[in-house]
Chains A and B, each alone.
Chain A
Amino acid sequence: MAKEYTPFFYSDFSTYYTKDYTYRDDNTNTRYNDQIVKEWHDYFGQQLGKKDLEYLLLKTSAKGIDSVYQNFQGKIKVLPDSMPQLKTLKLDKKQVNSFFEYLSLAKSAEDFSAKYQEYYGWDEKPNYAAPKSMELSLLTAFQKTKDPFIKQRLWFQLVRYYYFLERSTGVKPVKDSQLIKAFDTYKDTFPKNMIYYRTLGYVAGRHYLAKDYATSNYLFSLCYNYASEMKIPAKWAFHPNEEADWKQSLAMAKSKEEKITLWHLLGIYFDTERAIPEIIALDPKSEKLDLLLSRVVNITESSRSGYWGGKEDSTKTLRANTALVSGIALKNNTSKPYFWNLAAGYLNFMNKNYAQAAKFYQAAKTQLPKDNALIMAQYKILDWGLYIRQLKKIDAKAEAKMVEPLNWFARLKEGKDTIPDLRFYQSLNESLGVISSLYKKQGDPVKANIFSNYHEFYTNNQNIESLKSLMQKSNQSPFEKAMLHYYPYKLEDLYFFQATVLVYQERLDEAIAFLAKSNRAGTMLLGNPFNMRMNDCHDCDHQMAQSKKFSSMSMLKMMKNLKDELTAGRNVYNNANLLANAYYNITHYGNARAFYESELTDSYSSYAMGIPAPFRPMLLSGKIAEKYYLIAREATKSKEQKARCTFMASKCERNESYNRSYELPENKNAGYWSVKTDPVYFGRYFSVLRQQYADTRFYQEALNECGYFRKYASKTR
């Protein structure tokens, strides 16, 4: 693969994509800088350093150039250290004089040719017109100089000058163009080097302005072919207008190679599938096929899985491209047959022709360059993907076979091994998904969950216990060891999850024991979980001054004490009330979400629907809280307290009605933005409040604080 195309990743925002390539790189006039500096470095016989040249050629202003020159001539004695000190160098005086003469002209030409800046139409449009007066200075300098190196550069300046002049003064026919005249008169006197092709680029541009697209495209293709630096500008300008002018461009091509370049350009820009057979017919060994082959694969992939899912007729593209690439691979006469075999295998794989895919991979295997780690790794990934896709079930033999690749991937994933530029995450993740669903089908939830974590797994405590014992097993098999690299959680995470479950099962003793084995005992809660307010307000609770801060563990211990007291029948109202508050606050609706939130349960969500369905009954339900509010109400004689307990129970009742909605079949695929809830605003507890406690002070307080209740009360009056 030509260096300028590597490492060859697809992105839709740049033309030739390397790792560090950005959108801006497509649109810059700095692409020739290295080359320019190098050429002048050679001109001065390596006596003038690259740093100094960079300063003079690329960085400083006309004034800076002048100062350096005057210093060289002895007119300025001292220059700041940051500026090139040419006096101290052994330079040919004549060369230096020519250089500065050229540089001053080149610098002023930048005003119209290279200073383009983004401008916004609110302001006056900047004027990039070439000044009429400059023509004479350029022509005079060009005629005067005998130095061929400088002469060619002045020729470039002249042609470029005419390009901008003729563009801004109205485009005349090509036959009247000064630019074309200047180019044609001298074109054979100069070597065909980079500056020659840059000059040719302006000739192509002049034909473009005259709408002679046939010539313009042909000339641009020559530039494209010359050097990687010219590929992007030439590609951007490539623009056939009618089929006739495209055919004319092809007819202008003087060799097979030139025709191939034209087809290559058509292929990357417009129609890869049309270009490939044309190039194959001209020269199957052409390097210009490589980029197009990768495009075919990209096109096929994106036709199948567009951003919005599969597209219509996608199989048509897949089938056509599979046939195209397979046909070429089978002929086996390209310069890198393994690329074609790998691509043909992969396209057949996407097409579900697994046997066919295997044949192509097999053919590729014998041709691969063994010393190229990247290609070898790519082959391995493709081969692995095919093997996994073909598995019907996973037995001991299959597991044994998977050990090596699983360990290989694990080392890459964990960064213990790297193969520069290799991308493997998507293929790996897809294969892990396939393995997981096979195990699920085989009735092995533990392995299924290790390869691809799924929430339902945790609703069965036996599953968790099995997983734990596998993780703690001292004599793990090689496969078990390899497999466990893919399980994202630790033993502590499982203990924590089990502790949470036990709390909601009201098995506080056991919960405390499990929490101690997790790494979450010290999680600090943001608010006091034993407080309660009429309207839920987490931020208020979190900001309130708290004389005692609770951690998960200290909360559980306090809850256990409350429950013990309650069981013993002591201070029932208070203890039940506090316990109810805590049980309310450790649900999603309460002020202590930090207690349950974890990556394993994927429950960091600020809306109830965001909590995965298997965990919702546990994390959303207010039934336990409601139960203790009712116990508290039962235990007190105070009507005020009874009213308060009733109101708190009504909150649990309302939350429960939301929870029910989330599980309705019509909300199965809904998001939090589209879920249809049918909340019970006015439940049975409101009616009890209204009927039995209307004479309490709390009743008035509830009317003031709670809009729902106010509405209810006014309706039922």
Chain B
Amino acid sequence: MMMIPGPFLHRLFLACLLFVSALSSCKRESNADAAFYYWKQTLTLNKAQHQVLDEVAAGKLYLRFFDIKWDDHAGKAHPEAIISFKEPVNTTKLTPVVFITNQTFEKLSLAGVDSLAMQSNTLLQHLAQAQKINYQSVQFDCDWSLGTKDKYFQFLKSFKAISKKQLEATIRLHQVKYQVKTGIPPVDRGILMFYNMGKLSPKPEDPNSIYNPKDAATYISYLPKYGLPLDIALPLFSWSVHIRNGEIIQVYGKIGKKELSNTENFQPAADKNVYKALRSFFTGGVYVKTDDLFKLEETDKALLEQAAIQLAEHLNKKEHKTIIYYEIGNLNISTFKTKDFEEISAHF
């Protein structure tokens, strides 16, 4: 993989900023709302997170209710990681989100699709009623493929007919680029996931897989032609990729710069943001072996701003849209401030 030299990137970035700020005087105000995802299993927000949710998004929350996975043992689809509410939901602006693994539709028969839609709707209603949540739309997140397209789309149609709600579906970049092949889901709005665009790679030298402009560039020119109105999901997360003998073992949100900067355990490797384990030890329930590599892939304000600028250029500014930040449950308040979100959303 070719590396773009640092200073060049930096200059490019500055140039972009100057370009945008020069234009901003004669540009209309942003036409975008902000919102947050919440993806953890137990809903509990600390005071600072509540404050950000209110200030930045006026309480607008996309809450993951459950995942649907395939159980090979039982030979059926079942919900996992069902949300539990540790505190009352004090927002009226809440959209339930359901994540479905693509494997579910690989394994499920076409005949089983309708009853899955029925079960999902019942569970969703049940969970919402218990919390007195009144929702208007439901969002589905599934990285469907050519082989599962028909079943997933049938699921969406069926769910719509049963629930009579507005439906939204997440859209991956490759689904934008190859929309003729992959099809457009039968929903009211799409949410473009503008992250995880690169391949998660065990090679230390490969770029950040969460966002990098080079991978993004191969997709975004197709955006104006996409057949659904789009909201945008942007990343706030960082993670580290655990590599042993050239293979990815796992990805962790909980091992970050702080842990990797501990010089008793790690030393920086030749490539940027890569750390090498100096000994074998446990940390946070993870076992690290001598010579294991950790590749830190971070999102910070500068990266997010770069992503926003690159993306906004290909979107119609007149269309109202929601920018959903992923996600607030693990948000590090010291990295992102209310002002940062306002500045980023203003690009759209």
* A residues whose Cβ falls under 8 Å from a Cβ of B: 118, 120-122, 239-243, 245-246, 270-271, 274, 303, 311-314, 316-317
B74–A120 CB distance below 8 A? yes
- Which residues of chain A are near B82, meaning CB under 8 Å? 121
- Please measure, in the bound complex, the distance between the C-alpha atom of A452 and the C-alpha atom of B282, giving whole angstroms: 49
B235-251 interface code vs A (CB 8 A; 1 in, 0 out): 00000000001110000
Give, as a whole number of angstroms, the nearest-CB distance from B71 to chain A. 8
New contact pairs (9) apart from A271-B289, A274-B280, CB-CB < 8 Å:
A122-B119, A122-B123, A240-B285, A240-B287, A241-B285, A243-B282, A243-B283, A303-B245, A311-B245
Chain B residues with CB under 8 A of A121: 66, 78-80, 82, 123
Judge if B76 is at the interface, Cβ distance under 8 Å: yes
CB contacts (< 8 Å) of B280 on chain A: these are 271, 274
- Inter-chain CA distance A274–B288, complex, in Å, is 12
Complex A-B: 22 CB contacts under 8 Å? A120-B78, A121-B80, A121-B123, A122-B78, A122-B123, A240-B282, A240-B287, A241-B282, A241-B284, A242-B282, A243-B281, A245-B282, A246-B282, A271-B287, A274-B280, A274-B289, A303-B245, A311-B245, A311-B246, A311-B247, A312-B245, A312-B246
CB proximity of A167 to chain B, nearest CB, Å: 16
Contacting residues, chain B, for A317 (C-beta < 8 A): 245
Chain A residues near B123 (CB, 8 Å)?
A: 121-122
Q: Could you tell me the distance between the alpha carbons of A240 and B73 in the complex, rounded to whole angstroms?
A: 29
Chain B minimum-CB-distance residue to A274: B280
Bound-complex Cα distance A303 to B246 (A): 11
- In the assembled complex, the CB of B240 is this many whole angstroms from the nearest CB of chain A, namely 17
- On chain A, the residues within 8 Å of B78 by CB distance are 120-122
Q: Once the chains are docked, how many angstroms separate the CA of A121 from the CA of B123?
A: 9
Q: Are A313 and B246 in contact (CB under 8 A)?
A: yes
Q: How far is the CB of B196 from chain A (nearest CB, A)?
A: 23
Contact status B246-A242, CB under 8 Å: no
Q: Is B122 an interface residue (CB 8 A)?
A: yes
In the A-B complex, the 3 residue pairs with the smallest Cβ-Cβ separation, listed nearest first, are: A312-B246, A121-B79, A243-B281
Who on chain B is nearest to A119 by CB?
B78
Tell me the complex Cα distance, A241–B66, Å.
Answer: 27
B41 to chain A minimum Cβ distance, whole angstroms, is 12
Across-interface contacts of B122 in A (CB, < 8 A): 122
Closest chain A CB from B202 CB (angstroms):
8
A242 touches B284 (CB 8 A): yes
Nearest residue (CB) in B for A244 is B282
B interface, over-half SS: mixed
CB distance from A218 to the nearest CB of B (A): 15
Within 8 A of A (CB), among B275-323: 280-285, 287, 289
B74 to chain A, nearest CB (A): 7
Chain B residues lying within 8 Å of A241, measured Cβ to Cβ, are 282, 284-285
Encoded as 1 (CB less than 8 Å from any A CB) or 0, chain B from 106 to 146 comes to 00000000000001001100000000000000000000000
Q: Which residues of A contact B287 (CB under 8 A)?
A: 240, 270-271
Check A239 against B285 for contact (C-beta < 8 Å): yes
> Which B residues are CB-close (under 8 A) to A316?
245
Main secondary structure of the interface of A (DSSP, over half): loop
**A569 to B73 Cα, complex, angstroms:** 70
> Considering the chains assembled together, what is the distance between the CA atoms of A476 and B269 in angstroms?
66
In the assembled complex, the Cα of A389 lies from the Cα of B245 at a distance in Å of 28
B247 contacts which of A240, A271, A274, A312 (Cβ < 8 Å)? Answer: A312
List the A side residues contacting B73 at CB < 8 Å. Answer: 118
Q: Which residues of A contact B247 (CB under 8 A)?
A: 311-312
Residue of A nearest to B291 (CB): A316
With a CB–CB cut-off of 8 A, which chain B residues contact A270? 287
Task: Please provide the chain B residues from 246 to 285 with a CB less than 8 Å away from any CB of chain A in the complex.
Answer: 246-247, 280-285
CB closest chain-A residue, reference B245: A313
Complex: chain B residue closest to A317, CB-CB:
B245
Residue of A nearest to B244 (CB): A313
Q: How would residues 66 to 110 of chain B score, 1 for a CB under 8 Å from any chain A CB and 0 otherwise? A: 100001011010111010000000000000000000000000000
Kindly report which residue of chain A lies nearest to residue B115, judged by CB atoms. A122
Q: How far is A303 from B245 in the complex, measured between Cα atoms in Å?
A: 9
Contact of A120 among B76, B283, B284, B285 (CB under 8 A): B76
B-chain residues with CB within 8 Å of residue A274 when the two chains form the complex: 280, 289
Q: Which residues of A contact B285 (CB under 8 A)?
A: 239-241
Question: What CA separation (Å) do A241 and B283 show in the bound complex?
Answer: 6
Nearest chain B CB to A565 CB, angstrom units? 55
In the complex, A121 Cα to B98 Cα: how many Å?
A: 14
What 1/0 mask marks residues of chain B from 219 to 248 whose CB sits below 8 Å from any chain A CB?
000000000000000000000000001110
Distance between Cα atoms of A303 and B289 in the complex (Å): 16
Return the chain A residue nearest B78 by Cβ: A120
Closest to A270 in B: B287
| A644 and B283 alpha carbons, distance in the complex (Å) | 79
CB distance from A211 to the nearest CB of B (A): 10
Instruction: Tell me which residues across on chain A come within 8 A of B245, comparing CB atoms.
Output: 303, 311-314, 316-317
In angstroms, how far is the closest chain A Cβ from the Cβ of B268? 20
Is the CB–CB distance between B282 and A118 below 8 Å? no
Shortest distance between the CB of A301 and any CB in chain B (Å): 14
A238 to B343, CA, bound (A): 48
- Chain A residues with CB under 8 A of B283: 242-243
Q: A246 to B66, alpha carbons, bound, how many Å?
A: 35
Contacts of A311 on B, CB cut-off 8 Å? 245-247
Chain B's closest residue to A266 (CB) is B287
B193-235 CB mask vs A (1 if < 8 Å, else 0) is: 0000000001000000000000000000000000000000000
Closest to B122 in A: A122
Kindly state the separation between the CA atoms of A311 and B280 in the bound complex, as whole angstroms.
22
- A122 neighbours in B (Cβ, 8 Å): 78-79, 119, 122-123
How far apart are A123's CB and chain B's nearest CB, in angstroms?
9
Return B132 CB to nearest CB of chain A, in Å: 19
- Chain A: which residue is nearest B73 at the CB level? A118
Cα distance A316–B247 in the bound complex, in angstroms: 14
Q: How far is the CA of A240 from the CA of B286 in the complex (A)?
A: 9
Question: What is the minimal beta-carbon distance from A236 to any residue of chain B, in angstroms?
Answer: 14
A701 to chain B, nearest CB (A): 38
Task: Find chain B residues with CB under 8 A from A242 CB.
Answer: 282-284
Closest to A306 in B: B247
- From known contacts A312-B246, A312-B247, A314-B245, infer whether A118 and B281 are also in contact, taking CB-CB under 8 Å: no
Chain A residues with CB below 8 A from B281, complex form: 243
Q: How far is the CB of B166 from chain A (nearest CB, A)?
A: 24
Question: Nearest CB to that of A118 among chain B residues?
Answer: B74
Kindly provide the distance from the CB of B119 to the nearest chain A CB, expressed in whole angstroms: 5
CA distance A121 to B282 in the complex (A): 33
Residues of chain B contacted by A245 (CB below 8 angstroms): 282
B289: A residues at CB distance < 8 A? 271, 274
Give Cα distance in the complex from A122 to B202, angstroms: 38
A314 CA to B244 CA, complexed, in Å: 11
Q: How far is the CA of A245 from the CA of B119 in the complex (A)?
A: 44
A307 to chain B minimum Cβ distance, whole angstroms, is 12
Beta-carbon nearest neighbor of A316 in chain B? B245
Q: Which of B71, B82, B123, B282 has the most CB of A within 10 A?
A: B282
A461: min CB distance to chain B, Å: 47
Q: Which residue of chain B lies nearest to A303 when distances are taken between CB atoms in the complex?
A: B245
B70 to chain A, nearest CB (A): 12
What chain B residues lie within 8 Å of A314 (beta carbons)? 245
CB distance from A350 to the nearest CB of B (A): 16
Q: Please, how many angstroms separate the alpha-carbon atoms of A96 and B184 in the complex?
A: 72
A618 to B284 CA separation, bound complex (whole angstroms) = 65
Q: For B282, what are the chain A residues with a Cβ–Cβ distance below 8 Å? A: 240-243, 245-246
CB-CB under 8 A from A271, the residues of chain B are 280, 287, 289
Contacts of B79 in A (CB 8 A): 120-122
Q: Give min CB distance, B254 to chain A, whole Å.
A: 12
Contacts of A239 in B (CB 8 A): 285
In this complex, the member of A243, A313, A317 whose beta carbon has the largest number of chain B beta carbons within 10 angstroms is A243
Closest partner residue, chain B, to A122 (CB atom): B119
Chain A nearest CB from B9 CB (Å) reads: 29
Nearest residue (CB) in A for B281 is A243
What is the distance, in angstroms, from A310's C-beta to the closest C-beta of chain B? 10
Contacts of A312 in B (CB 8 A): 202, 245-247
What CA separation (Å) do A121 and B79 show in the bound complex?
5
